[in-house]
Amino acid sequence: MTEETVGAKYAFRRAGGDRLGWVHIPGGVFKGGMALLTKRDWRGMEHIPLTGPVIFVWNHYSDIDPLPVCHFVYNSGRHPRFLLKNTLVEIPVLGPILKATGQIPVYRGRRDAGDSLREAVKVLQNGGSVLIAPEGSVTKEPDRWPMRGKTGVARLAMETGAPVVPIVQWGALAIHDRHRSPKLKLGRRKPVTVKALPPIDLSRWKDTEIDRESLTAVTDHIMDTLRLGVAELRGQTPPPLFDLRKSRSEESESNE
């Protein structure tokens, strides 16, 4: 068994990654909470580079699923910096912690909405990592499969050239499910699987003009990779990539 394979199951952070300084303090508290919530099944940590710019993308199917991803990335040796809803950084106590640990708020529908991507570019230019849920929200696909994503992550990848490492996961619905009553279930630790896949090959779009067509193609390629990775974890055949706008349009037409 190689050192990297062993590292994929570490209870402690891998050595040689990002220096976090005081961020280790909230990080340690967070890890303690996750140890009480989840029974870890971690795979593929060898695909996470210890240094240099990297964009992590993950399948977002539960309100609580960013937490296992954060735990996984933290233990991989990297500093987890999420692009997250601005409402989270406005929550008392939690908000200041998120800001102080370098999380990047996304302000939707405002003139400064693009500031989040510009901030992410700066992080990558300085050799850091960012985490993005390409869908921009919890998936609306009826059976929680990844749906068609927004093009922000594609633009970030094409502008910076940073590698895109997909992280697939399953199991967090046993802890929190917005469609269930009660939504939150605590008690016995729930099995949660998190797996990093090899960086996505985007070489066919190298030096391609960044336009609507190329951004859509790159985004769909990223989402297809996540969808196939999730299918392996679930042991199921994935449906075609779900398009929320198309679904809403068809539903509207059927109601006319």
Structure tokens at 131: 């985490």
CATH of the domain spanning 3-249: 3.40.1130
pTM of this prediction? 0.90
**Given a cut of 70, is residue 168 above it in pLDDT?**
yes
**Given a cut of 90, is residue 161 above it in pLDDT?**
yes
Nearest of 66, 72, 3 to residue 40 by alpha carbon: 72
C-alpha 161/C-alpha 163 separation (Å) is 6
Average pLDDT over residues 90-99: 86
Domain segments of the chain: what residues? 3-249
Structure tokens at 40: 């870890």
Structure tokens at 34: 């996750």
Question: Would you state the pLDDT for residue 251?
Answer: 52
Question: Would you state the pLDDT for residue 15?
Answer: 86
Question: Would you state the pLDDT for residue 156?
Answer: 95
Average pLDDT over residues 171-194: 92
**Given a cut of 50, is residue 165 above it in pLDDT?**
yes
21 band by pLDDT with thresholds 50, 70 and 90: confident
C-alpha 225/C-alpha 213 separation (Å) is 19
**AA identity, residue 110:** R
Q: How many residues does the chain have?
A: 256
Question: Would you state the pLDDT for residue 20?
Answer: 86
Cβ(76)–Cβ(40) below 8 Å = no
Give 150-199 as a DSSP string.
PTHHHHHHHHH---EEEEEEE-GGGTB-TTSSSSB--SSPEEEEEEE-PP
Helices 212-234 and 152-160, packing angle to 10 deg? 110
C-alpha 124/C-alpha 130 separation (Å) is 7
Taking 3-state DSSP, the helix, strand and coil percentages for the chain, each rounded to the nearest 5, stand at: 45, 15, 40
In this structure, of 27-36, 38-47, 64-73, 102-111, the range with the lowest mean pLDDT score is: 102-111
**Given a cut of 90, is residue 202 above it in pLDDT?**
yes
Q: Based on DSSP, count helices (H) and strands (E) in the chain, helices before strands.
A: 8, 7
C-alpha 168/C-alpha 230 separation (Å) is 6
**Given a cut of 70, is residue 208 above it in pLDDT?**
yes
91 band by pLDDT with thresholds 50, 70 and 90: confident
Average pLDDT over residues 124-149: 94
Question: Would you state the pLDDT for residue 4?
Answer: 45
Please give the share of the chain, as a percent, with pLDDT higher than 90: 62
Question: Would you state the pLDDT for residue 75?
Answer: 93
DSSP 3-state of 27:
helix
